[in-house]
Structure 1
Amino acid sequence: MSSVTAPSLASAARSPRAGGRAWAALAVLMLPTLLVSVDNTVLSFALPSISEALKPSATGMLWIVDIYPLVLAGLLVAMGSLGDRIGRRRLLLIGATGFAAVSAVAAFAPTAELLIGARAALGVFGAMLMPSTLSLLRSVFADREQRRLAIAIWAAGFAAGSALGPIVGGLLLEHFWWGSVFLLAVPVLIPLLVLAPLLVRESRDPSPGPVDALGIVLSLLTMAPIVYGIKSLAVDGFSALAVIAIAIGVASGALFVRRQLHRPVPMLDMRLFTRPAFSGAIVVNLLSVVSLVGFLFFVSQHLQLVIGLTPLQSGLVLLPGLVTMIIAGLVVVPVARRIRPGVVIAAGLTLSAAGYVLIALTGGDAPWSILLAAFVLLGAGIGAAETVSNELVISTAPAAKAGAASAVSETAYELGAVLGTATLGTLITVSYRAALVVPSGLSASQADAAGETLGGAVSVARGLPAPLADELLRSARAAFDSGVGVTAVIGVALVATAAVVALVTLRRVRS
Structure 2
Amino acid sequence: MSSDIRKHAGPREWGALVVLTLAVGLIAIDGTVLGLAVPALSADLKPTATQILWIGDIYSFVIAGLLVTMGNVADLIGRKRLLLIGSVGFGLASVLAAYSQSAEMLIAARVLLGVSGATLMPSTLSLIRNIFTVPKERTRAIAVWSVGATAGSALGPLVGGALLEHFWWGSVFLINVPVMLVLVIFGAWLLPESKNPNAQPLDFISSLLSIVAIVPIIYVMKQLFGRGLSPVLVPLLLIGLLAGWAFVRRQKRLPVPLVDITLFKIPAFSGAIFSNMIAIFAFSGLLFFFSQYLQLVRGFSPLQAGLAELPLTIAAITVVFLIGFFMRSLGLGRSIAVGLWLGGIGLFALAVAEGLSDYVWMAAVLVVIGLGVGVASTLSTDAVVGSVPRERAGAASSVSETAFELGVALGIAVLGSLQTVFYRAHLVVPEGTPKGAADALNESLATADGVLHGQGGGAEALLEMARAAFTDAMQFTSVIAGVITLVAGFIAWKLIPSSVDDITGPVEVVSEEQG
Q: Structure 2 length as normaliser, TM-score?
A: 0.93
1:388 to 375, 379, 393: 379
Aligned to 2:461: 471
- Does structure 1 residue 495 correspond to structure 2 residue 452? no
Residue range with higher mean Cα deviation, 217-226 or 477-486 = 477-486
CA distance, structure 2, for counterparts of residue 278 and residue 293 of structure 1: 23
Cα separation, 2, equivalents of 1:366 and 1:236: 32
Instruction: Check if 1:246 corresponds to 2:237.
Output: yes
The aligned counterpart of 1:288 is: 279
For residue 88 of structure 2, what is the aligned residue in structure 1? Answer: 97
Equivalent residue number for residue 167 of structure 2: 176
Deviation, 1:162, is 3.5
**C-alpha distance in structure 1 between counterparts of 2:395 and 2:440, whole Å:** 44
Secondary structure class of the residue paired with 1:18: coil
The answer to whether the Cα contact below 8 Å between 1:365 and 1:481 also exists between their aligned partners in 2 is no
Amino acid at match of 2:167: F
Measure, in 1, the Cα distance between the counterparts of 2:401 and 2:463.
39
Letter in 2 for 1:46: A
Query: Among residues 79, 103, 107, which one is paired with 2:98 in the alignment?
Result: 107
Larger CA deviation: 173-182 vs 368-377: 368-377
In the alignment, is the contact (CA less than 8 A) between 2:151 and 2:312 conserved in 1? no
- Counterpart of 2:227 in structure 1 is 236
CA separation in 1, counterparts of 2:286 and 2:40? Answer: 19
Residue 439 of structure 1 and its aligned partner are, at CA, apart by: 4.0
Give distance in 2, aligned partners of 1:98 and 1:88.
Answer: 15
Q: Distance in 2 between matches of 1:411 and 1:342?
A: 21
* Deviates most, 235-244 or 373-382: 235-244
Bigger shift: 485-494 or 123-132?
485-494
Distance 1:243 1:131, change over 3 A: same
Say whether residues 1:376 and 2:367 are aligned partners: yes
Whether contact under 8 Å (2:222, 2:413) holds in the other structure is yes
Does structure 1 conserve the Cα–Cα contact (< 8 Å) formed by 2:353 and 2:362? no
- Indicate the residue corresponding to 1:323 in structure 2: 314
Residue 6 (structure 2) pairs with residue 15 (structure 1): yes
Quote the Cα distance in structure 2 between the aligned partners of 1:442 and 1:367: 33
Deviations 1:317-346 (A, max 9, x none): 110121111102332145425641011111
SS in 1 for 2:201: coil
Q: Is 1:40 aligned with 2:31?
A: yes
Cα deviations by residue, 1:328-386 (Å, 9 ceiling, x for unpaired): 23321454256410111112222212211212345656653332222111001111111
Structure 1: distance between partners of 2:392 and 2:328: 25
Long gaps (5+) in structure 1: 1-9
Establish whether residue 298 from structure 1 lines up as the match of residue 289 from structure 2. Answer: yes
Counterpart selection for 1:28 from 19, 24, 27? 19
Shift of 1:168: 2.5
Secondary structure of the residue that 1:187 maps to in structure 2?
helix
Per-residue deviation, residues 22-42 of structure 1 (Å, max 9, x unmatched) = 111111111211211221231
What is the rounded CA distance, in whole Å, between the counterparts of 2:425 and 2:330 in structure 1? 48
2:475 to 462, 475, 485: 485
Does the 8 Å contact 1:159/1:323 carry over to 2? no
Query: Hey, what does 1:312 align to over in structure 2?
Result: 303
8 Å contact from structure 1 (residues 450, 456) kept in 2: yes
Aligned residue for 2:318, secondary structure, equals: helix
Paired residues, number:
500
Within the candidate set 408, 431, 452, 2:422 is matched to 431
Tell me how far apart the structure 2 counterparts of residues 329 and 385 of structure 1 sit (CA, whole Å).
12
Give the 3 Å change call, closer, same or farther, for CA 167–463 of structure 1 in structure 2: closer
Structure 2 residue runs of 5 or longer lacking an equivalent are: none
Query: Deviations along 1:452-493, whole A, 9 cap, x unmatched?
Result: 1101111111363x1112111111111112223332221222
Matches of residues 119-138 of structure 1 in structure 2 within 5 Å?
A: 119-138=110-129
User: Is the 8 Å Cα contact of residues 453 and 460 (structure 2) preserved in structure 1?
Assistant: no
Q: Secondary structure at the match of 1:209?
A: coil
Query: TM-score, length-normalised on structure 1?
Result: 0.94
* Pairing 1:161–2:167 present: no
- Paired residue for 1:7? none
Q: Indicate yes or no: 2:198 matched with 1:198.
A: no
What is the DSSP-based 3-state SS (H/G/I as helix, E as strand, rest coil) of the residue aligned with 1:396? coil
- Name the aligned partner's letter for residue 418 of structure 2: L
Backbone CA RMSD of aligned residues: 1.8
CA deviation after TM superposition for structure 1 residue 202, in Å: 0.6
Identify the residue that residue 62 of structure 2 maps to in structure 1: 71
